[in-house]
Amino acid sequence: MRIGNRFSIAVHILSLLGTFEGEDQTSEWMAGSIGVNPVIVRNVIGMLRRAGLVTTQQGAKGAHIARPLKKITLLDVFRAVETEDLFSSHPRPNPNCPVGAQIQTTLEDIYGRSQAAMEAELKATTLDKVVKSFKVKAA
């Protein structure tokens, strides 16, 4: 039960784009900062583009933020790249067991409240807050 790497990679990509706004940023350059293969960066950028968070151009121009960082929440990013619920139950508990017969319903309620709390926190945090937290030295 953990948020996938795509979310962290997506926040990293958007933070790079916001921190170095106006500069040409290739997937190779971003991959070097993130520590992943450029193909992964391109895949995540594609998800962010489809969600309207970045614009892209072929070649050295790379990707650019599509709207102001203060108008992009971490929930926007999460929804752009995460396709599965944060929590899930095991698929086949034994219905003849008193626990197995009730566990799904009990956990679904808890998981729903937990997911809502996490989403509220992500919605309250904008990318400009994330980017402002970095201490970046000028090149």
pLDDT of residue 1: 38
Pair 6, 81: CB distance under 8 Å: yes
Residue 30 corresponds to which amino acid?
M
Has residue 39 got a pLDDT over 60? Answer: yes
What is the bridge-based pairing of β-strands 63-65 and 54-56? antiparallel
Pair 125, 76: CB distance under 8 Å: no
3-state secondary structure of 97: coil
pLDDT band at 3 (very low <50, low <70, confident <90, very high): low
In this prediction, what percent of the chain has a pLDDT beyond 90?
60
Measure the CA–CA gap between 49 and 34, rounded to whole angstroms: 19
Written as six digits, the tokens of 67 are: 């709207």
Mean pLDDT, rounded, of the chain: 88
More confident residue, 101 or 84: 101
Burial group, residue 1, by CB count within 10 angstroms (0-12, 13-18, 19+): exposed
pLDDT band at 42 (very low <50, low <70, confident <90, very high): very high
pLDDT of residue 46: 95
